[in-house]
Amino acid sequence: MTKYFSAKVELIQTKTVWVQVSGDEASATALARDQAQLKEPGFSANSVELKLVGESELEVGSRVFHRIFGPGIIESLSPNGDGQTFRMRIKFDRGDTKDIAGPGSVVRPESLASDE
Summary mean pLDDT of the chain:
80
Q: Report DSSP letters for the chain, one per residue.
A: ----------------------SSHHHHHHHHHHHHHHHSTTS-------------S--TT-EEEETTTEEEEEEEEEE-SSSS-EEEEEEETTS-EEEEEESSSSEEEGGG----
Has residue 98 got a pLDDT over 90? Answer: yes
Half-sphere exposure of 95 (CA within 13 A, CB side): 0
- What pLDDT does 84 receive? 63
Tens-digit pLDDT profile for residues 10-65: 667 788 888 777 778 888 888 888 888 888 888 888 888 888 766 677 788 989 99
- pTM exceeds 0.75: no
The torsion defined by the Cα of 12, 13, 15 and 20, in degrees rounded to 10, comes to -60
Q: Which domains does the chain have, with CATH numbers?
A: 11-52 (no CATH), 56-116 (2.30.30.390)
Q: How many other CB atoms are found less than 10 A from the CB of residue 90?
A: 22
23: nearest Cα among 63, 62, 64, 52: 52
Q: What is the rounded distance in angstroms from the CA atom of residue 86 to the CA atom of residue 19? A: 11
